[in-house]
Structure 1
Amino acid sequence: MLISRATTADVVDLAQLLYVDTAGEVGDDEAVDEFAAELGRWWAHRGDSHAAFVARSTDGEVVGMAWVAFVPRVPRVPRPRATGRLSADIQTVFVRSDHRGRGLGTALVEAAAEHATRHGAAHVTVHSSRRAVPVDERLGFASSPQLLRTTAPRT
């Protein structure tokens, strides 16, 4: 297996994985192509703030992904030696069910986290599923009593 940074050439494969992750099934070619075009337009406007990583099988098929979003911590008041602050959030880690249990999710999260810190993120968070929490903890992620969140009420 190979983990690499995704490029625009991977948009259709990323769209297919997002379709499966969200809908729980493989989309028909027309639906995936339509979504891939939308994803490509979305990503073209966010190339500086979002990066994707893919896991490829030995035959080159994309079987997993992880996204990392960079979040500038503005309009936070500058601090001495910290006038520009950046955080990152790892999102949408997904590996096709027939390729799970081989360490691909771990490798994808590691690649995304390393990319984030290499590009200056002082903090990296990950949105985990219950099943992925032990994996993320083994990678050094930990719960924080200071990191709180709220969910907007559904209307």
Structure 2
Amino acid sequence: MRISQANAGDVAGLARLLWLDTHHEEPAQPSVDAFAADLAQWWAVHQDSHLAFVARLRRPEIVGMAWVALVPRVPRPGATSRLSADIQSVFVTPDQRGQGIGSALVEAASQQAAHLGSTRVSVHSGRTAVPVYERLGFESSRRLLQRPPD
């Protein structure tokens, strides 16, 4: 398995994984190719704040991804360059799950966030993935609150 930071050449593969992960939940998109074009435009605008990491096996096809959103925090005296990070859109193709690919992707994204100066990394997880994130050192917090949509 090879984990690397994604680049513009990986957009089609990232779009395919995002499509596989969410097409049944989201409003219909005409095609994966149309979504790839939308993703490329979005990422061109957000490439400084959203980093993607991809997993490949022996072939060039991407089998997993994890994104990290970097969020500047309000400065404080003595800490004028604060940064937080949020792990997003972790997905591994169903035929490759259970091999540590998702964990390796989350670790790579978290390490890059820390390297860039993030003081904290959070994740909003589905119930079934909570034990995986806990094994990776994430902890539940009573101080992190969320307001549900209206």
TM-score normalised per structure 2: 0.93
Cα offsets for 1:63-110 (capped at 9, x unmatched): 11000000111xx3x322112211000000000000000000100000
Residue 96 of structure 1 aligns with which residue?
93
Measure the CA separation in 1 of the matches of 2:33 and 2:118. Answer: 33
Aligned residues: 146
Q: Does 1:86 align with 2:83?
A: yes
Q: Which amino acid aligns with 2:10?
A: D
Cα offsets for 1:33-65 (capped at 9, x unmatched): 111111000000011100000010211210110
Residue 23 of structure 2 aligns with which residue?
23
Q: Does 1:42 align with 2:42?
A: yes
Residue 65 of structure 2 aligns with which residue?
65
Q: Does 1:114 align with 2:111?
A: yes
Tell me the CA shift for residue 118 of structure 1.
0.3
Q: Which amino acid aligns with 1:98?
A: D
Query: Which secondary structure does the structure 2 equivalent of 1:91 belong to?
Result: strand
Measure the CA separation in 1 of the matches of 2:112 and 2:80. Answer: 21
Gaps of 5+ in 1: 25-29
Residue 134 of structure 1 aligns with which residue?
131
Gaps of 5+ in 2: 25-29
Measure the CA separation in 2 of the matches of 1:102 and 1:96. Answer: 11
Tell me the CA shift for residue 135 of structure 1.
1.0
TM-score normalised per structure 1: 0.90
Measure the CA separation in 1 of the matches of 2:38 and 2:76. Answer: 39
Moved over 6 A (4+): none
Measure the CA separation in 1 of the matches of 2:149 and 2:72. Answer: 22
